[in-house]
Amino acid sequence: MNRIKTDICIIGGGSGGLSIAAGAVQMGAKVVLLEGHKMGGDCLNYGCVPSKALIASAKKAYAMSHGGELGVADAKAKVDYAAAKDHVANVIATIEPHDSVERFEGLGVKVIEEFGRFISKTEVQAGDTIIEARRFVVSTGSAPFVPPIPGLENVTYYTNENIFDLREQPKHLIVIGGGPIGLEMAQAHARLGSKVTVIEGMKALGKDDPELAAIALYNLRAEGIEIVEEAQAEKISGDGKTITVHTPKGDFSGSHLLMAVGRKVNIDKLDLDKGGIAHDRRGLKVGPNLRSVTNKRVYAAGDVAGGLQFTHVAGYHAGVLIRSILFGLPSKQRTDHIPWATYIDPEMAHVGLTEVDARKKYGGNVEVVRFNYDGNDRAIAERKSTGLIKVMVVKGRPVGASIVGHLAGELIGMWAMAIANNMKMSAIANTVLPYPTISEVNKRAAGAYFSPKLFESDRVKSIVGFVQRRLP
């Protein structure tokens, strides 16, 4: 058995773990990184990267058959599903070297390609190596949650971990789960030529603003995607060629089945109890500083920290932990400025408080300003005028923003910056943007906040009248 002593031992080579490893080793710390599966984690191999690559293929196919209103004759796209998957694989391969063992070993990180598990409060074992570290960071991410639906074990089903390996195009894809992953894959497959049915036990896009979700779902249904809500899957059956999902709202049959009902954190292999690390089904129990409440040597980053499950959150956690672990500075996470996006078309994005949460927290002190995409000249020019932005404002400062529409995932960045830096609405309103751009949606929303104060105020009108009467 080999033994290693190090400053930091990181368990998990996903976004959070790799960011900490790269930062720490380049600042002089000794770092050991343990990864028993694929470097880059879920995001690179099964999540963000492959899904957006497949969505890009689907957008191209859709654009070919929807150019009529722009003066371009519609043409039926000839889709090569296997070639689209080759594109996905190529995108992963292009990004892969940045997350590779070779790159990190080149930086000076000791990479051990084995799963790590705690054997004491101060030691982790990976294969035939025991690592003793001053600090441990658990960043093992999450995996698809597959509920125990009767009959599921008797049929072939896919999750985001193997759907991108599928080379045969589904004739009729059944998706269980109407959240972001399920709907992104549903629309991508529908645009590539598959018939798609989405079955959701509650409300589709149930975590998003209901008004914005309704716009998104209307458009998905308009593309021919069947979305059945409040239809809990009770049983699944199959005959080798057809898979049937039985629900209170009827039976739905298709050729392929995708399970997309949620995520579960990867902690089963860690032997956390042996490390004296408190945990529950959501992950490690940590404080605002991401430090274990029961073992002060241990920190969590990303999904296993028990909060928001996004790649960019894991990267953000890395910055929080680098400040505290390397420099001994007090450093805590916050969540009010964390944005997220759903890459359906039109896109959805959000940061801060929703309208419902803002009204609960601030009551009558919250103002909700709105601007429709059909008032944006660039959106009109590109026939992308379906959309809405809502900004929740308290005492002149945005506390939340929700967007559905073209490039929503890009537009939300301005509001994330404003909330992160406690900026006022005037900072957005004073920003000069190039015309015509979709980004003017943000400026017009800020303008919608100030317009009533300027144009509907008797006081402002009286001041202007007074000044005008006295001007030479």
Bridge-partner residues for 380, per DSSP? Answer: none
- Per DSSP, helices labelled H in 96-172 are 101-107
Reported as type and span, the H/E element at residue 134 is strand 129-138
Return d(Cα 195, Cα 174) in angstroms, integer: 9
Give, as one character, the DSSP assignment of residue 266: S
Bridge-partner residues for 253, per DSSP? Answer: 244
Return d(Cα 148, Cα 299) in angstroms, integer: 32
User: Residue 306: left (phi > 0), alpha (psi -120 to 50), or beta?
Assistant: left
Among 251, 266, 324, 325, smallest CA distance to 143 is for 266
Strand runs (DSSP E) across 282-406, as ranges? 283-284, 298-300, 339-342, 347-352, 366-372, 388-394, 397-405
Give, as one character, the DSSP assignment of residue 172: E
Burial of residue 4 (CB within 10 Å: 0-12, 13-18, 19+) is middle
**For the packed helices 81-95 and 48-64, what is the interaxial angle rounded to 10 degrees?**
140
Matching residue, tokens 């998990």: 12
Rg of the chain over Cα atoms, rounded to whole angstroms, equals: 25
Question: What is the three-class DSSP state of 232?
Answer: coil
Return d(Cα 171, Cα 195) in angstroms, integer: 6
Positions at the binding site for FAD: 52, 116, 140-142, 303
Return d(Cα 75, Cα 85) in angstroms, integer: 22
The pair of structure tokens assigned to 14 is 């996903």
Return d(Cα 353, Cα 359) in angstroms, integer: 9
Positions at the binding site: 52, 116, 140-142, 177-184, 200, 262, 303
Half-sphere exposure of 448 (CA within 13 A, CB side): 20
Positions at the binding site for NAD(+): 177-184, 200, 262
Residue type (1 letter), 210: P
Question: What is the three-class DSSP state of 248?
Answer: coil
Return d(Cα 403, Cα 388) in angstroms, integer: 6
Strands 2-11 and 129-138: parallel
The pair of structure tokens assigned to 313 is 């959150």
- Residues 229 and 236 sit within 8 Å (Cβ to Cβ): no
